[in-house]
Each structure stands twice: as structure tokens, then as C-alpha cells.
Amino acid sequence: MKIKEKLLENKVHISFEVFPPKTDAKFDSVRAAVDEISTLAPSFISVTYGAGGGTSKNTVKIASHIQNDLGVDSIAHLTCVSSTKEEVRQRIREMKEAGIQNILALRGDIPQDSAFSIPNQYKYAYELIEDIKTQGDFCIGAACYPEGHVESEHKEEDILHLKQKVDCGVDFLTSQMFFDNSVFYNFLYRIREKGITVPVLPGIMPVTNGKQIARSCQLSGAELPARFRAIVDKFGNNPKAMQQAGIAYATDQIIDLIANDIHNIHVYSMNKPEVAAAIMSNLSEIVK
């Protein structure tokens, strides 16, 4: 099923994100984690493309397994960075052959040690989106940044770039992680004023490792509210306590979003079925 059709339903949808294995030797362990997450009846499962596209072939394999073997809708990520146009088009052909209907089109993080872009690469996500539209009848998602893209000087500039992507044929948006819901609500208000009307899924990251959050925020541009910083300071060196606190904080964000009529929520649970299961347990009477 195309995700854009699912988002029209008058019900709460919770989706999860996983990443493919970096090596073929770890494929079975990742698939086992995906199998566990699928038992939680998510709306769909998103599969990342991997840093620099290095795990792109496994992205298609995992997304196909989710959809064709587990019976759960999937969306495969596709990025411009570190892949030529022909390599990207080959992945699109593989997705089409596997029956994958949903693609999340991204530029991707630019590697520090390689040139970007070269003549046979896409430079911007909107170019990738335009090409996907010519390759088949896909439902296309794209990324958005409630706190502004780290490379944009001003939020207004970032929204103009977002409008360009949407106008090229994007069906829905998924946000970068954020830790203050008021940031997301303000972002929605600003993009609606600019005529961006497609559904926007808030991206929620349950922080279970205090040491990794600083790096993640640096890459994403997300700010840590004082309330959340206090949690990391208190529990960051206690892995079990940090996981419990991070799940509780993410659950609180999700409940607030649902209470404010945000019905479609994407959780960056990655390959951690225990995190996904804990969140769904916390929402057992809220999401039925």
C-alpha cells in the first residue's frame, strides 16, 4: 500500500525506522530485529540507505523482506550522495522489481573526504525526486527540518528549498528528530503559510545512549531542551536508566503530538526491537 493513502485514514499511525547491515555477515541479525519490530503492527517500516549508499543493496533486500515476507508496508530510502545517477536508477529498478511502492528521496550527508557533486551525480534532492517520478508510479517522501537544515543560513531559506522539493512531486514529509514539540508545531504553522500542504510526519528519536546524542544533534541541528539535557546529565552514564528515561521522554512527546491531533508519527527506533516494543506498550490504550 502506498503510504500517502495510509496517511489519509482517520487513525493514529506509528511507524519505525531500521538500518541495513554494514556487512553481509550481519544481515541475519538485522533481519531478526526487523522481524521482531514487524510483530508490533507498525503502520510501516522505513529502511535507511546507509552512510554513502554503501549498504544500498541491502536496503532493497530488507525493504522487500518487510513487505513481501512479513506483510508490513515498507519504504526504502534513496540518497544522491556517493552514488552515480546510473547507480541510483539501478536501485530504483530493483525496487520496482521487488514491488516496493514507497521511496524516501534524500540528498544524504556529504562525506568529508570525497568530492560532491561530480558531473554524473544528483546535487540536490529535488533532482532525485524529479527522476524518480519518471521511473515509475512511486509514492515519494522527503525530509524536512523543523529547526532548519544545518547548511541553511535562515529558516525561511530552508522552507523555500522544501517548497521546491514538494512542488517536484513529494507526497509526504518526515521530519528530522526534535526534542521540543513546540518547535514542530511552529514549523507546521510556517510551512502551511508558504503553501506546503502535504502530510508531515514528526520524527521522534528515543535517546538510549547519552554519549551519542551530542554527535547526532551536531549532524541534525536539533537543540536539546534544558529538561532533556538534565535527563542525559543524570542518566547518561547508566545505560539501562538512560534507555528507560529516553523511552519515557519519547513516549511523552508522542502522547502530546497525538493529543494535538498529529496522527502519523515516525519513530527512529533503529534496530532496537525492545525500544519499539516499550513505546508501543506505553501507548497500548492510546493507539488501538
- The per-residue pLDDT for range 160-186, each reduced to its tens digit, is 999 999 999 999 999 999 999 999 999
- With H, G, I as helix, E, B as strand and everything else as coil, classify residue 216: helix
- Cell numbers placing 85: 545517477
Number of domains in the chain: 1
Q: Which pTM does this prediction carry?
A: 0.92
| Any domain includes 234 | yes
Residue 140 bridge partners (DSSP): 103
88 Cβ neighbours under 8 A, 6+ residues apart? 78, 80, 122, 128, 131
Instruction: Check which CATH number belongs to the domain holding 175 and give it.
Output: 3.20.20.220
| Any domain includes 288 | no
> 118 or 128, which is more confident?
128
| Any domain includes 126 | yes
According to DSSP, the β-strands at 74-79 and 45-47 are: parallel
| Any domain includes 264 | yes
| Any domain includes 193 | yes
| Residues acting as catalytic residues | 17
| Any domain includes 199 | yes
| Any domain includes 287 | no
> 3 or 229, which is more confident?
3
Per-residue model confidence as pLDDT tens digits over 208-217: 887 777 666 6
| Any domain includes 76 | yes
CA distance 144 to 202: 9
Domain span at residue 213?
3-282
